[in-house]
Amino acid sequence: MRAMVMTEVPDGVSRQALSLQQRPQPEPQGPFDVVVRVAAAGVCRSDLHILMGELPATVPHVLGHENSGWVHAVGPMVSAVQVGEPVLCYPFVSDGLSPPERRGIDSAAPARRTPGIDCDGGYADYLLVTERSLIPLPGDADLAAMATLSDAGLAAYRACRKAAAVLGPGSLAVVVGVGGLGHLAVQILRALCPARILAVDTREEARKLAVACGAHDACSPSDLDAVAGATADAVIDFVGSDESASSALAGLGFGGSYFAVGVGGTLSTPILQLVANETRIEGVYVGTYPELVELTQLALSGEVRPVVVPYALGDADQALRDLAGGSIVGRAVLVP
C-alpha cells in the first residue's frame, strides 16, 4: 500500500511545534469495516495546522480527512455499500451510539475516529473507514470534485445553512476568504437564500473566482468598510485571523450574525458593542452526515460546482506548499 506519510513540513513551519504533538500512534479502534480505494483526497488548511503543531493530532499518521473513492473490500457484516461502488467519505468514523450521535452530531462523538486527523487518512491509495460514514454516489460522479464536499464543502454548508436562516430578500451576506471553503460557500448561499453576497479576499484571482461562483460583488479586506459599511446581516469568516474577525464584527448591522469557520486568531470585542448591536457569534465545526447528503445533492444537480486543482499523490508536499503560499485558487486534491 502506498501512502504519503508526512515527514517533511512546509517552509516556515515549526518542527519544534510538531514535535510537541508527537506521541505513539494507537492501534486503529472502532468499527472500521470497509476499505476504500482512494479516488481523491482534499488538501486542507487543517493539514497545515497539524504540520505546524497548531491542531491536536496524533503523529505520525497519513494525512487526508477529505476523501472519495470506490469500495474495495468490506467486512462480513457490511450491507450498506457494495464492492466497486463509488462513495464519498463523511470525515468521522464512529458507532453511532453516543448521545451526540443520536442527535446527528457525529463530530462530537466521544469515541469517534477521524481518518487523516487521529489515524491514517486519504493521502494514500487505500483508506480504512466504516459503512456508516459512507455516502454512495452515482457511477458518473466526478469523484475529485465530490471529495471536496466532505470537509471544505460540509463546513461551508453548515455555516451557510445557519446563515441562510437570517438572510431574507434584500439582506447582505459577506463571505470572508474565497479559498477551498469560501468558493463553495458563495455557491451554497446562492442555492439556499436570496441574500446579496459580497466576497472578500486579498487575492484578485480569488475575487474573480467568487464572482464566477455567483457573488454579486467582491472586494479586498481593506475596502470592506467602504463597500459595505456596517450593514451585513451575516458574515461567514473562513479566515479566522484577528483582523478578519474584528473587521467582520465591525461590518455587521444591528442583529447581525458572525459565523466563525476559519481558525488561528483571537476574537476580542467590547461586550457593550455586542449588547448594543445584538450581535450573534457562533462557531461552525464541520457538519452532520445529513447535511453532507444534502450538499451532495446540490453538487449532483450542478447547483454547487467545486473548483478543483489536482495534484498527483506524490506531489503532496508541493500541494501543501502551494496552499501555504496562497497560490491555489479553489481546492487542491491529491489523485493517486
Binding site for Zn ion (CB under 5 A): 44, 46, 151
How near is the Cβ of 124 to Zn ion at its closest, in Å?
16
Going by C-alpha positions, the residue among 124, 112, 141 that lies closest to residue 72 is: 124
For Zn ion, give the closer residue by CB, 68 or 247.
68
Q: Is residue 59 packed enough to be buried (19+ CB in 10 Å), middle (13-18) or exposed (0-12)?
A: middle
Cα angle 220-251-175, degrees, rounded to a multiple of 5: 55
How near is the Cβ of 224 to Zn ion at its closest, in Å?
26
For Zn ion, give the closer residue by CB, 122 or 251.
122
CA distance between the termini of the chain: 11
For Zn ion, give the closer residue by CB, 46 or 130.
46
How near is the Cβ of 114 to Zn ion at its closest, in Å?
10
Contacts (Cβ under 8 Å, ≥6 apart) of 119:
25, 26, 28, 58, 61, 113, 128
Pairing verdict, β 34-42 and 331-335: antiparallel
For Zn ion, give the closer residue by CB, 18 or 172.
18
How near is the Cβ of 49 to Zn ion at its closest, in Å?
9
Q: How many CA atoms lie within 13 A of 163 on its CB side?
A: 37
Note the residue count of the chain. Answer: 336
Contacts (Cβ under 8 Å, ≥6 apart) of 210:
175, 178, 182, 183, 186, 199, 201, 218
For Zn ion, give the closer residue by CB, 107 or 279.
107
For Zn ion, give the closer residue by CB, 117 or 329.
117
What is the C-alpha separation between 33 and 77, in angstroms, rounded? 8
Q: Which residue sits closest to Zn ion, CB atoms considered?
A: 44
Contact 259, 251 (CB under 8 A): no
How near is the Cβ of 166 to Zn ion at its closest, in Å?
26
How near is the Cβ of 112 to Zn ion at its closest, in Å?
15
Work out whether the CA dihedral 111, 117, 118, 119 comes out positive or negative: positive
For Zn ion, give the closer residue by CB, 50 or 329.
50
How near is the Cβ of 267 to Zn ion at its closest, in Å?
21
